[in-house]
């Protein structure tokens, strides 16, 4: 049994989101929630929402009995489209500002084998 959740076009840079996703990969789902709750990075909020959504998908859509037997099977961050903006600088120049976006995916598996 696999439960999947994905958040697309999240306004956090992929490099920063990958730091957070690396913290929870392979952990139990409840333990991953606790790690995200106390991690200081700002990207923990969208990653936590995706993890909560994946747990809810497992319980409601796949009729998994409880969240205690779930673990983070896969978790990865892909790069989304980049918003390009300009910052005015001295003497009429303009510097490009790149506002990066991310696609965050979390896949949960069951520890009890085939379910």
Domains of the chain, with CATH numbers? Answer: 2-110 (3.90.470.10)
Instruction: Show the 3-state SS of the chain.
Output: CEEEEEEEEECCCHHHHHHHHHHHCCCEHHHHHHHHHHCCCCCHHHHHHHHHHHHHHHHHCCCCCCHHHEEEEEEEEEECCCEEEEEECHHHCEEEEEECCEEEEEEEEECCCCC
Q: Cα separation of 9 and 87, whole Å?
A: 22
pLDDT over 70 (residue 65): yes
- Residue-wise pLDDT tens digits, 26-40: 999 999 999 999 999
Summarize the confidence of residues 52-75 as an average pLDDT.
91
- Residue-wise pLDDT tens digits, 51-62: 999 999 999 998
pTM for this model (two decimals): 0.90
The alpha carbons of the chain give a radius of gyration, in whole angstroms, of: 17
Q: What pLDDT score was predicted for residue 37?
A: 95
Q: Cβ(53)–Cβ(8) under 8 Å?
A: no
pLDDT over 80 (residue 114): no
């Amino acid at each position: 049994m696999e439960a999947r959740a994905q958040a697309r076009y999240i306004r956090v840079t992929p490099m920063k989101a990958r730091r957070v996703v690396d913290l929870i990969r392979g952990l139990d789902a409840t333990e991953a929630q606790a790690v995200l709750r106390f991690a200081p990075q700002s990207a923990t909020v969208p990653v936590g929402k995706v993890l909560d959504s994946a747990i809810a998908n497992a319980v409601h859509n796949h009729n998994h009995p409880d969240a205690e037997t779930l673990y983070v099977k896969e978790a990865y961050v892909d790069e989304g489209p980049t918003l390009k903006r300009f910052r005015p600088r001295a003497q009429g120049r303009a510097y490009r500002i790149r506002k990066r976006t991310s696609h965050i995916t979390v896949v949960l598996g069951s520890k009890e084998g085939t379910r």
